[in-house]
Structure 1
Amino acid sequence: MSEPRRLEVLRAIVEDYVHSREPVGSKALVERHQLGVSSATIRNDMAVLEEEGLIVAPHTSAGRIPTDKGYRLFVDQLSDLKPLSSAERRAIQNLLEGAEDIDDVLDRTVRLLAQLTNQVAVVQYPHLGNAKVRHIEFVLLAPAQVLVVLISTTGRVEQRVITVPSPVTEPALHELRQHFLQGLAGTTLTRITSHLADCLATVPVQLRGTAGALGRCLEQLAGINREDRMVMAGTANLARATGDFPLTIGPILEALEEQVVMLRLLSEMEQDARGVSVRIGSENPYGSLSEASVVATGYGPDASAMVGILGPTRMDYPNTMAAVRAVARYLSRVLNE
């Protein structure tokens, strides 16, 4: 059997099974695909594919379905990913560009990705290790009450209302904001504490009490840790695919709910030359996800946080990979603006 034809037969089996959820026989392959050979030849090719562990016969069915190994070979043979339609690209752009803050952006991202793929969509909050101070704002709410706002380069917005030791005027608060911005803009969030000492040392004596309270608040806002948090949407899609999980979807739902396993897996996934990472069934090192596939890619300034989908191994990999990659690119663009 020629290698190219074997790959064509495997591709046809994967595509038909993903579309129909029914085991695929040689007769159906001849009828639906231009393979240029007889049904008997296809049966011989399928026998070889089965010997190599790429397809398997479920129960006593005459048809065959792909194995995890078969899906892996299929995915690896995808030379390129077709772009999304112009309508899909416009939908992504319009939805994400209308977001108000990082929480809204990520919530819109997973809802959109779940709709595009009919799978469970997940996104990690941007990692803070390299995030920097983009902007600081102090808003006077009352003579001794100030709203402190910290915006990072990841688009994350943190805010808190504090009471300062003594009443402060609008001009004085503006002066302090300029002072903190000059000293902290471009500083990584993890190093704010060390830079605050220098900022406070040069504040006018009469404003040091207020400046100290504002500085402590900025330090607290910078330290709020969201690195180990993710947002997800589309769990109903998983529930509708129970037929694709031979045992039960219970462990998968638990892994999503607890987040720890999913976050650990995302942190271990490395992108391939196409800019995506795919883990198929048994390739997942965590037993609770051994019947699922995960497609993910990095996003953001350093692409260290991940966005992706989880679903059954019977998945439309080309379209799912393209959707994940496209959404990640738009997400990065929105966060960098």
Structure 2
Amino acid sequence: MSDERRLEVLRAIVQDYVATSEPVGSKALLERHQLGVSAATIRNDMAALEDAGLISAPHTSAGRVPTDAGYRIFVDRLSQVRPLSATQRRAIETFLRQSVDLDDIVERTARLLAMLTNQAAVMQYPSLRRSRVRHIELVPVAEGRLSLVVILDSGRIEQRLVSVASADDERLVQTLRARVNEVSGARLLTEAAAAMTELGAEFEPGQRADVDTIVATIAAVFAEDREERVVLAGTANLARAGLRDDAGLSVSRVLEALEEHVVLMRLISTRDDDPTHEVTVRIGAENDFAGLESTSLVTTAYGSDAVATLGVLGPTRMDYPQTMANVRAVARYVSELLEQ
């Protein structure tokens, strides 16, 4: 038996099962696909696929459905991710470019992914640990007070008020603004904080106390330990998908798992750090979380330095090529938006 033909049969079974949600028989395969062999040969190939653990019979019917291992082979053998149409690309870009700030970008992205894929979408806020400094602004706002604005490449903006006696010294403020940007620009936050520690020594003795106060405030912004946040959208899509696990349990187990913030954070954070930002697919039991054994997770990193992750969660019976294409395209547009 040809291994290549066996893979073609598996591919056809996956495609038909995704499209119909019904077990696939040899007769249906012959009617829907140009496989170029007899019904007997197809039945033999299906028997071999079943022996290999790639398809299984859900009940006494003649039809077969893919197993997790079968989906894994199907995904790994995809020659290319299905491209999006020009209309789809324009719709994604238009919707995301209406965002007004980082919170809006994250909320819109999650809703968009849920709508595009008809799955549950999850998006992690940019991680401070991976963020780099884009710009630091110092603006006098009142006598003895400066407004400190820290802008990160992940889109985060942090603002603080700093009380210093020399806030009205325009020359000092301009010089310090230039120096903090010079030593911190494009650096990771920990690197930027370290690079600013000796800046006070560059200024006149009477100015050093205020410079140290400002630098310490910037360093404190960099060092703040914020709880990582994740946004979830489209959970109703899971109910409509009719999820069932091996025990016949309903979608409630999946929703209960997703309600746990710790589980959600671990789920979206568990990925390989891939600088190429390739899409990662975890299928069925590859999701090592109770309640999610009947689902697949499709994720990718976004941001120039993979600052965080976004993706979708749905039944193992999902349209993998289209889902992967949507996740990759949205991540690319979000990355471009954050870099502007």
Counterpart pick for 1:253 among 251, 255, 264: 255
Is contact 1:296–1:306 with CA below 8 Å preserved after alignment?
A: yes
Determine the structure 2 residue equivalent to 1:169. 168
Deviations 1:88-123 (A, max 9, x none): 111222233343333332222222222111112222
What is the TM-score when the length of structure 1 is the normalising length? Answer: 0.87
Deviations 1:246-296 (A, max 9, x none): 323334334333333343344443369992211100122233322211111
The CA distance in 1 between the partners of 2:277 and 2:30, in whole Å, is 31
**60-69 or 302-311, which deviates more:** 302-311
- How many percent of aligned residue pairs carry the same amino acid? 51
Partner-residue secondary structure (3-state), 2:197: helix
The CA distance in 1 between the partners of 2:187 and 2:295, in whole Å, is 41
Q: How far 1:85 sits from its partner (Å)? A: 0.6
Unaligned runs of 5+ residues in structure 2 are none
Are residue 300 (structure 1) and residue 299 (structure 2) matched?
Answer: no
Counterpart pick for 1:326 among 308, 326, 329: 329
Letter in 2 for 1:296: T
Q: How far 1:204 sits from its partner (Å)? A: 4.1
Determine the structure 1 residue equivalent to 2:219. 219
Q: How far 1:142 sits from its partner (Å)? A: 3.0
Is contact 1:80–1:274 with CA below 8 Å preserved after alignment?
A: no
Partner-residue secondary structure (3-state), 1:136: strand
Residue pairs, 1:52-201, within 5 angstroms: 52-160=52-160, 162=161, 164-166=163-165, 168-169=167-168, 171=170, 173-201=173-201
The CA distance in 1 between the partners of 2:36 and 2:194, in whole Å, is 71
Q: How far 1:7 sits from its partner (Å)? A: 1.7
Determine the structure 1 residue equivalent to 2:44. 44
Unaligned runs of 5+ residues in structure 1 are none
The CA distance in 2 between the partners of 1:263 and 1:103, in whole Å, is 17
**Residue correspondences, number:** 336
The root-mean-square deviation of aligned C-alpha atoms, in Å, is: 2.7
Partner-residue secondary structure (3-state), 1:287: coil
Is contact 1:18–1:315 with CA below 8 Å preserved after alignment?
A: yes
Partner-residue secondary structure (3-state), 1:14: helix
- Segments ≥4 residues shifted beyond 6 Å: none
The CA distance in 2 between the partners of 1:12 and 1:272, in whole Å, is 33
C-alpha spacing 1:223/1:236, structure 2 compared with 1 (3 Å): farther
Is contact 2:244–2:250 with CA below 8 Å preserved after alignment?
A: no
C-alpha spacing 1:66/1:174, structure 2 compared with 1 (3 Å): same
Deviations 1:111-164 (A, max 9, x none): 22221111122222334345322111233333244332101223321123x251
Is contact 1:123–1:231 with CA below 8 Å preserved after alignment?
A: yes
**77-86 or 191-200, which deviates more:** 191-200
Counterpart pick for 1:313 among 292, 316, 320: 316
Determine the structure 2 residue equivalent to 1:287. 290
What is the TM-score when the length of structure 2 is the normalising length? Answer: 0.87
Is contact 1:55–1:64 with CA below 8 Å preserved after alignment?
A: yes
The CA distance in 1 between the partners of 2:10 and 2:152, in whole Å, is 48
Letter in 1 for 2:285: S
Partner-residue secondary structure (3-state), 1:288: coil
C-alpha spacing 1:3/1:180, structure 2 compared with 1 (3 Å): closer
Q: How far 1:72 sits from its partner (Å)? A: 1.0
Q: How far 1:71 sits from its partner (Å)? A: 0.8
The CA distance in 2 between the partners of 1:283 and 1:228, in whole Å, is 24
Letter in 2 for 1:131: S
Is contact 1:147–1:159 with CA below 8 Å preserved after alignment?
A: yes
The CA distance in 2 between the partners of 1:266 and 1:294, in whole Å, is 9
